[in-house]
Structure 1
Amino acid sequence: MIELGIGMFGDVQINAVTGQIQPAAERMKEIVEEIKLMDEVGVDFFGMGEHHREDYAVASPEIILAAAATVTKNIKLGSAVSVLSSADPVKLFQDFATVDILSNGRAEIMAGRGSFIESFPLFGYDLKDYSELFDEKLELLTRLNKQDAITWSGKFRKPLINQQIFPRPVHGSLPIWVAVGGTTSSVIRAGRMGLPVMFAIIGGAPENFKPLFEVYQQAWIDNGHDMKDFQVGVHMHAFFGENSQAVADKYYPVYAGQMNRIGASRGWPSYQRSQYDFGRSIHGHLVVGDVNQSVEKILHIIDMFGLTRFSAHMDVGSPDHSDMMKAIELYGGQIIPKVKEALKKGE
């Protein structure tokens, strides 16, 4: 059965006129309230991102998730993503095992290389080792997940000699997902290792990702993994309202503002309304609209890729907390049930 969840990066509100930045403490309190509501309305999973910038409130997803574990009962709690390249896999595993214990077995890790680079100098890593760091640390993380005691050596840290790792997760191991952008080598690695993949489709036409999905599935099969264990998802920018045009118009300046803040540091041209409107179409990368439009778009994406998981990334630009709560209510209370019912009828 398909899982439908929500991802966030913890964007803080930035006043377009004054430049005033919302305090992280205020945004974190809102995030915990939002996760609590997700659990109450039946959202399947929540993912929290890791950033080390003033426009994002959360540097340690596992701490927010630990707080959320105490106010939720059913929702899966994971990162989206943990920047594994600049993390210590042992500490990361211990932290998420702790969240798993607090949540009675609901924790997940989603490992990624990250699209921002601030964590590398912050934690003493060299960007020239970007790919090697991820390869080595992903191998170590998956070993830690399978073995209570580990002997291991690599290039970027001291060896582990018959080292026991505590605490252990509730069920002995954690679900570990790999987040990828558009890199063929990344999906082949995940397929070879038998790890589920979350594709970030945050621009352009989703159908352009189909070859990568096919490469991933072929790598999975070629390396002898059972298709009954095959899991694949997408992460797409989303927002929901009762009236399609009204929510689109209200959300546009919030979304465009964040796109332009990020774009300014990357040399992107100014974000245009035409890009946004195309993104909202059936052929685009945005799921922004009313219940029926959103159900149609999500079903289209699920069918296109044969998904087992869909993640609506809902806080780009940090909409008002009240708007976020309304969007979560619509998603959990109406959109998710309609998507699942349509899929059930189509079986």
Structure 2
Amino acid sequence: MELGITTFAETYPDPVTGQVTSPGQRLRDVVEEIELADRVGLDVYGVGEHHRADFAASAPAIVLAAAVGRTSRIRLTSAVTVLSSTDPVRVFQDFATLDLLSEGRAEIMAGRGSFIESFPLFGYSLDDYDDLYAEKLDLLLQIRADERVTWQGRHRAALTDQGVFPRPEPGSLPIWVAVGGNPPSVVRAAERGLPMALAIIGGSPDQFAPLADLHRRVAVEHGYDPASTPIAVHAHGYVGEVSAQAADEYYPSYAQAMTVLGRERGWGPMTRGAFDAARSPAGSLVLGDPAEVAAKILRMHARLGIERFMLHISVGTLPHAQVLRSIELLGTQVAPLVRAGLVAGAAARA
């Protein structure tokens, strides 16, 4: 199973000092995180697209490209590209360029977008929220499949035998579909033979098992081998040396960020009680010492059958040194425990 990191390059005020990291410094910190993740053997690093003052990464492909020369093996993906409000031709060109620069390490994770700022920014109506995504996903897939494209839709100018360049490395540039919990989105991905990334940021991961099963079932019904349509999980969390200390370090910034988002979405404020419940064995937070984090990842593997897990550490603003240490622990201590657990589980089933 692959392990990795995701970020939105958050720039919330520090919960203790109130200081705000500048967007430039935050982006440079992200590049340093990617370099470390590569060095400690993690498999993937994802940067999400947002168009808000509290997130610095509106152009994930550029951020990821800045890390190409400082890494050698880690896969570089968006997490996510808000495909509904952008041009699939440009998305393909950006990530094909990243793929060539990185010698075949680029991926696209396409989503509808849980934040809506990009829709008015680029002149799209939220009334077309789902239709935009479905149409643009199919165009993106056609561009990946064919060097010259003839296509017509409702939300973009038609293409008539138009070449789209550059092309990525042969056989590269995977396209994943990011899903928050919407069954039609799961079906859409499976019908097209696409891998799926589940965003689990609340409740219990066990609740997502029916969606994972649905994805595998529909993929088989449409002639795809489930091995070619893997499932990933993206979850909030943090790895520390000691469990209680990890919780105490993570809570202030996490609570601040989730409370801000909660006000926008009608949730209640994040309390310590809710936080502690979320980091229980059946909760959504993947947080604790390396053994606890490994056990939670293995639990998700057993319940959901996932092939990739991505930890989102900086939900709020954590000190950069703590983020780097958490990444180091994920690669050097959690990953070996997960691999050993998978081997033991396979042996027990044999």
| TM-score, L = length of structure 2 | 0.97
Hey, what does 1:213 align to over in structure 2?
A: 212
Aligned-residue CA RMSD (Å) = 1.2
1:170-189 to 2 correspondences below 5 Å: 170-189=169-188
8 Å CA contact 1:10, 1:318 repeated in 2: no
Residue 114 of structure 1: aligned partner = 113
Deviations 1:5-27 (A, max 9, x none): 11111111414477553210010
Where do 1:246-285 residues align within 5 Å? 246-285=245-284
Contact 1:44–1:76 (Cα < 8 Å) also in 2: yes
2:206–2:303 contact (8 Å) kept in structure 1: yes
| Bigger mean CA offset, 66-75 vs 222-231 | 222-231
CA contact (8 A) 2:238 2:286 kept: yes
Contact 1:146 1:173 in 2 (8 A): no
Distance 1:135 1:192 in 2: 12
Partner AA of 1:55 in structure 2 = D
| Residue correspondences, number | 346
Cα deviation for residue 338 of structure 1 reads 1.4
What does 1:11-160 align with in structure 2 at a 5 Å threshold? 11-16=10-15, 20-160=19-159
Task: Confirm or deny: 8 A CA contact 1:133 1:156 kept in the other structure.
Answer: yes
Q: Percent identity?
A: 49
Tell me the distance in 2 between the aligned counterparts of 1:297 and 1:16. 27
| Contact 2:15 2:252 (C-alpha < 8 Å) held by counterparts | no
Per the TM alignment, residue 218 of structure 1 is displaced from its structure 2 partner at its CA by 1.3
Aligned position for 2:242 = 243
Match of 2:295 in 1: 296
Runs of 5+ unmatched residues, structure 2: none
Deviations 1:164-192 (A, max 9, x none): 11111012541000000111110011111
TM-score w.r.t. the length of structure 1 is 0.97
Q: Secondary structure of 1:133's match? A: helix
Q: Is the 8 A contact 2:196 2:229 kept in 1?
A: no
Is contact 2:235–2:285 with CA below 8 Å preserved after alignment?
yes
On the 8 A contact 1:21/1:55 being kept in 2, the answer is no
Per-residue deviation at 1:268? 1.4
Displacement of 1:230 in angstroms is 2.8
Deviations 1:119-164 (A, max 9, x none): 0011110110000000000000011111111100100111111111
Q: Which structure 1 residue ranges, 5 or more long, are not aligned?
A: none
CA contact (8 A) 1:109 1:176 kept: yes
Structure 2: how far apart are the matches of 1:19 and 1:337? 37
Deviation at 1:341, TM superposition (A): 2.1
**Is the CA contact (8 Å cut-off) linking 1:50 and 1:80 kept in structure 2?**
yes
- For 1:158, the aligned partner's letter is A
Instruction: Determine the structure 2 residue equivalent to 1:229.
Output: 228
**Counterparts of 2:11 and 2:37 in 1: how far apart (Å)?**
19
Q: Secondary structure at the match of 1:78?
A: strand
Provide the C-alpha distance between the structure 2 equivalents of 1:337 and 1:99, rounded to a whole number of angstroms: 30
